[in-house]
Structure 1
Amino acid sequence: MRIAIFSDTYAPEINGVAKTLKRYTNYLEARGIEYKLFVPESSTPVPTVPQVQRFTSIPFVLYPECRIALPNPLHIRQTLDDFNPSLIHIATPFNLGLFGLHYGKKHNIPMVASYHTHFDDYLEYYHLTFLQKWIWKYMSWFHRYFEKVYVPSESTREKLLSQQIHDKIELWGRGVDHSFFSPEKQTSKIREKYNIKEKNILLYVGRISPEKDVQVVLNTFHKLPEKIKKDTHLLMVGDGPLLKQLSELECEQITWTGFMEGNDLAEVYASSNVFIFPSSTETFGNVVLEAQSSGLPVIGARAGGVQHLINHGQNGFLCEPKNTQEFARYTSLLLDDCQLQQKLGDHACQFANAQSWEQIFDRLLASFEDVLKKKQRITA
């Protein structure tokens, strides 16, 4: 199997899609499967590797972590001709994806797509809802040529089916590195570093942007009963377009850390008490799984991919999207009860430990094999 992959985001960019694709290519390398990856240039310098072709790009207005590449068609065509892919996998439906689609159609190569982001939901936060109809028209046209479309959650599958994007939509879930995101990473260094004296740490990790509903996090904190609020410190971890504006609203019990990754991030997860993540636009919610793996109960929105990760009352609580009163009620319940925190946190960790990257990629590869066998039968 030789796989040509087209995406508009990839490591070292920090977002769920980029991280997943990096895991994916690591898996392919470990299995000895040949691939070529076509992606935009990174905003930070990266070493050149032969499997990865990078192209000049500009930020995508709705999601700057996703970059619109300005590909060199002659170079891509020559690379693909030499590589002779047996399967084309398109992860994002923009410039590079369009080129991959055109090449696959022209050369009758089996193609699959993966769907990662609800761009239609983002439009509401940027006052561009009039574009929703056109986005779905484009998505419907773009995906009609694929053998299968892969999505990270059941709710995403249902949404695409309702929009008649494709009739063969399969789940491609997500895993977590249990040894890296672990309760064992708990440390007092976090409290010392950020001068946290309160008993509880309420944590948010994610992009500081409108579509993540970060204002719900702040409103929830301020609505906590005074006796709980005075013993709670809110830690906001992440970067994004709202960071400068929101971080200027001074409050001694709120710390904005900016972007964080690696062991520092793992220690922050493990050293907090409760994780709050109100975003209702997620197709999955990687940070939720990371928090759970770190032993944290999670309070999230009953929407999108997050709702499939939280078993209400067992490893966290689900709230109606944007319902600050409900978020504050369940946050108070957890912050006020150490035993409940521990119980739900243990269940969250058990759930996360069952989400294995290896098994997830094994299933994806088996599905690819089915696509290739079907194509062989048709052309035989």
Structure 2
Amino acid sequence: MPNMLMSIPDRHFQTAPVQKTDICLGFVGRFDPEKGIADLIQAMHQLQQKSPVSLTLKLAGAGALESDLNAQTQRLGLEKQVVFSGWVSDLDEWMRDVDLLVVPSLNETFGIAILEGFCHGKPVVSTQVPGPQSLIEAGVNGWLAEPGNPDDLARVLDLAIRQQDQWPQIASCAYDKAKAHHYQQMLPRIAKIVRGVIDR
């Protein structure tokens, strides 16, 4: 059964290009190995050393890897840059502070987090695995990096940050993609598939 969005916020995000000097990266999801969060923290460490902007990373969620990720953050000296938010009860509020959503999955069949970012008008960087590849067209509504490769993730994040002038157009395309996955759009398509199966 396809993933669907039950609600989509009104289009209220930035429409004019803005060059920010403080960028907040965000991740939301389970702290499990296949989510690639360790790669994201390593990429964040690399970006800190060469990015022209000041970076913060907010991690929303919890899971088996939380203590390991905390230890990695401390080992890399990123305690002041990486914020562990826990599970958030108000995703809309959390998303307001995020400039760029990152979904660094090693394996992802769909990626509801990507659609959540899309519908909040957030540019998304993800990986070249089936789920994200079905939603993101690189350079059009987001960016894609090699899965399991912190160096390439850092490269793509750096590219996305340097292309801030394109964020409004990318966010607009992403928002339109999210609307196509709203349940009111998806239910007729699902009903057609079900009827086709029944009529066989």
**Which residue, out of 234, 240, 259, partners 2:87?**
259
Return 5+ residue gaps in structure 2 as ranges: 15-20
* Aligned partner letter, 1:307: Q
Q: Is the 8 A contact 2:103 2:124 kept in 1?
A: yes
Which of 47, 60, 75 in structure 2 is aligned with 1:224? 47
The answer to whether the Cα contact below 8 Å between 1:335 and 1:341 also exists between their aligned partners in 2 is no
Secondary structure of the residue aligned to 1:260 is coil
Relative distance call for 1:367 and 1:315 in structure 2 (3 A) is: closer
* TM-score for the superposition, normalised by structure 1: 0.46
Letter in 2 for 1:231: S
- Structure 2 residue aligned with 1:307: 133
Higher relative contact order (CA 8 A, sep 6+): 2
1:176 alignment counterpart: 5
Deviations 1:49-69 (A, max 9, x none): xxxxxxxxxxxxxxxxxxxxx
How far residue 178 of structure 1 moved from its aligned partner, in angstroms, is 4.8
Q: Is the 8 A contact 2:48 2:54 kept in 1?
A: no
Once the two structures are aligned, what percentage of the paired residues are identical? 28
Asked if 1:243 corresponds to 2:66, the answer is yes
Cα RMSD for the two superposed structures? 2.3
Q: TM-score, length-normalised on structure 2? A: 0.83
CA distance in 1, matches of 2:127, 2:163: 21
Alignment correspondent of 1:212: 35
- 1:178 & 1:229 partners in 2: Cα distance? 36
Q: Which runs of 5+ in 1 are unaligned?
A: 1-171, 187-197, 375-380
Query: Compared with structure 1, are the counterparts of its residues 183 and 244 closer, same or farther at alpha carbon in structure 2 (3 Å cutoff)?
Result: farther
Count of paired positions: 189
Please tell me whether the aligned partners of residues 225 and 332 of structure 1 are also in contact (alpha carbons under 8 angstroms).
Answer: no
1:293 matched residue in structure 2 = 119
1-side partners of 2:50 and 2:83: how far apart?
20
The answer to whether the 8 A contact 1:273-1:335 is kept is no
| Structure 2 Cα separation of the partners of residues 224 and 362 of structure 1 | 44
How far apart are residue 176 of structure 1 and its match? 2.1
Q: Cα–Cα, structure 1 residues 369 and 337, in superposed 2: closer, same or farther, change >3 Å?
A: closer
Post-superposition Cα deviations, 1:69-103, rounded to whole Å, max 9, x if no partner, equal xxxxxxxxxxxxxxxxxxxxxxxxxxxxxxxxxxx
